[in-house]
Amino acid sequence: MNHPETRGTIFLEDAEVLSHQAHPGDQYLLRIQAPECAAAARPGAFVHLKCDPQLPMRRPISIMRVDAKSGWVDLLYKAVGEGTRLLAQRRPGEHLSTLGPIGKPFEVHGERPRVLLIGGGVGMPPMVFLASSLRPAGGHTPWAPLVILGSEVPFPFQPRPSQILVPGLPPAVIAAMPLLDDWGIPNRLASLQGYPGCFDGYVTDLARHWLESLDDQARGQVEVFACGPHPMLAAVARLAREFALPCQVSLEEYMACGLGGCAGCVVQVDTPKGPAMKRVCVDGPVFDAYQVFS
Ligand X SMILES: Cc1cc2nc3c(=O)[nH]c(=O)nc-3n(C[C@H](O)[C@H](O)[C@H](O)COP(=O)(O)O)c2cc1C
Question: Which residues contact another protein by CB under 8 A?
Answer: 1-4, 7-12, 36, 50, 55-58, 82-83, 97, 99, 253-268, 275-277, 282
Separation of alpha carbons 53 and 71, rounded Å: 24
Residue 4 in the binding site for ligand FES (CB under 6 A): no
Length of the chain: 294
Give the number of other CB atoms < 10 A from CB of residue 7.
8
- Which of residues 263, 268, 275, 294 is near ligand FES by CB under 6 A? 263
Q: Which stretch binds ligand FES (CB under 6 A): 18-26, 138-146, 192-200, 263-271?
A: 263-271
Residue 101 in the binding site for ligand FES (CB under 6 A): no
Running DSSP on this structure, what letter comes out for residue 285?
B
Separation of alpha carbons 164 and 58, rounded Å: 40
Pairing of β 175-176 and β 187-191:
unpaired
Which position's Cβ is nearest ligand X? Answer: 262
Q: Do residues 157 and 25 lie in contact, with contact meaning Cβ atoms separated by under 8 Å?
A: no
Task: Determine the distance from the C-alpha atom of residue 15 to the mean position of all C-alpha atoms in its chain, rounded to a whole number.
Answer: 22
Q: Enumerate binding residues for ligand X (CB under 6 A).
A: 256, 262, 264
Q: Which stretch binds ligand FES (CB under 6 A): 24-32, 177-185, 214-222, 256-264?
A: 256-264
The CA-based dihedral angle spanning residues 55, 57, 62, 63, taken in that order and rounded to the nearest 10 degrees: 80
- Which of residues 163, 261, 275, 294 is near ligand FES by CB under 6 A? 261
**Residue number with CB closer to ligand X (55 or 262):** 262
Interface ranges with ligand FES (CB under 6 A) = 255-258, 260-265, 279, 281
